[in-house]
Structure 1
Amino acid sequence: MTDLQNRMGDLLTSFFTDPFLAGPLAPAVVPVWVPPFDLEETQDAYLLEMDLPGVRPEDVNIELIGGDTLRITGKYTARERTGTMRRQERRGGAAARGGEGGREGAEFEYDVILPGEINADQIDATLEYGVLTIRAGKAQPQARRIQVKAGAEAGGTAGSQSRVSPGSASGPGAKR
């Protein structure tokens, strides 16, 4: 192999790696499993469905951050395997780190930023048949009365010449 081919190979390798994790001082990289999910918006809520095969409800944590972000974290525990793996497509556990079978697990963490604010009191989550379903009710804009304060009484504001007190029959637009 020529020097040019070696440099091209190095260039391609560096292009497909994270520049912040390269070099001799790079931290040990532990892959994080990111489960696939769907996000649907309805009239009154956001519905999120995330595939979490083999994950128990007690191993999942959900937090509301900042009014519009759900942080979903947890742990996937790999199945005990006694045979030789001939094909490994499912992610998580020892498979995510390229290890052998065993009871090791992979952690997952995902922040889902929703298109709008959600009501913290209207968030429900269920985990059934390997699918985590979260229903987050949308925050409803609340009507609020804005108090109108009186301006300065004696010529302190612009346009005070055209003020008409309630019930007055004079001034611009008054009916006679």
Structure 2
Amino acid sequence: MHNDATCRKRRPPTGAAVPAGRVPQAQEWVWRVLPRHRRPPQRMTDMMADRSNPTRASNRVDWNDPQLQKLLGKIEGWDLDNRESQPRMDVQIHVGWSAGGGKMATLVWRREKVMVLEANFPIPTGEYVRVDTFFGDGMRSVWGVVVEGRAGRRADDCSNGVSIYWLHEC
């Protein structure tokens, strides 16, 4: 039986059991029991009481520290909205599998099978959407499914009733 205190390793036989120059066969190998060199597991309460390890110790933050306040002041106006990182493109979208009339929306971000759309009408989560992009003489269609949607948070989004939708390409 295997336990935490020992480790079993398979070794070829040695000594008088094997004549010189003969290679031992697989069935002749023996199991050798070796002590395991590791610390026994600690109890969770012991681990939590060990404050010498910084990963287990709680991190206290002094929010009134002048250096921290200076850093926080630099990022105060930041927002994780990256809709302006790519050129906006007017697209026509068709919600669902029907061939009904399309509605206008704006493609604000696209990368690796993910699209972000702005629309001023609701699109249910899980709905299939065809996104038509127009180029000079032609048109390119891509199907996607809405994985998330929310109301826009910018001031102009709120005033225009814009919602943001994330689509995964099919």
How would you bin the TM-score normalised by the shorter chain?
Answer: under 0.3
TM-score by length of 2: 0.24
TM-score by length of 1: 0.23
Rg bigger for which structure?
2
